[in-house]
Amino acid sequence: MSDLKKQVQDAAISAMKSGEKKRLAVIRLMTSAIKQIEVDERIELDDARIIVVFDKMLKQRRESISQFKIASREDLIEQEAYEIDIIQEFLPQALSEDEIDEIVNSAISQTAASSIKDMGKVMGIVKPQIVGRADMSEVSGRIKSLLSAS
């Protein structure tokens, strides 16, 4: 069993024992997302794949928040933000702006990217290094602006 999966299971047990129903509900969502893929693909997920699953969950919640802001649903925004906080507890530490810039600039120089057409090559190098540690849409926007400025 992967370390990350064990951490999630331990957190579920801890939340049950301490009566944290709201936290437990989020952890159960995470567990079911892992189980769903394991059952569908008949495999046991490793930490790297679990991070990708959690990153996808974060992305979905960020998108929901932007929709809820349009609808002025503060109650739902609060719930999604809470879920983001819980999910992020199980992800690697977030990268700083400087670290992201360093990774992006390194990828651009490695691929000799000179225009927006090279976006795919750059993302291919950047994505594995930052998945679960930064918002991919923000990083993608940063890469686009750098490549279109060149």
Q: What is the pLDDT of residues 46-92, one digit of tens each?
A: 998 999 999 999 999 999 999 999 999 999 999 999 999 999 999 98
Phi-psi region of 67 (alpha: psi -120 to 50; beta: other; left: phi over 0): alpha
Topology at the third CATH level for domain 97-149:
Arc Repressor Mutant, subunit A (1.10.10)
Which whole-number Å values give the CA distances from 124 to 28, 39, 69, 80, 104, in the listed order?
32, 28, 32, 29, 11
Distance CA 36, CA 135 (A): 24
pLDDT value, residue 150: 60
Question: Mean of the pLDDT values across residues 133-140?
Answer: 88
Q: What is the CATH number of domain 3-88?
A: 1.10.1510.10
Domains of the chain, residue spans = 3-88, 97-149
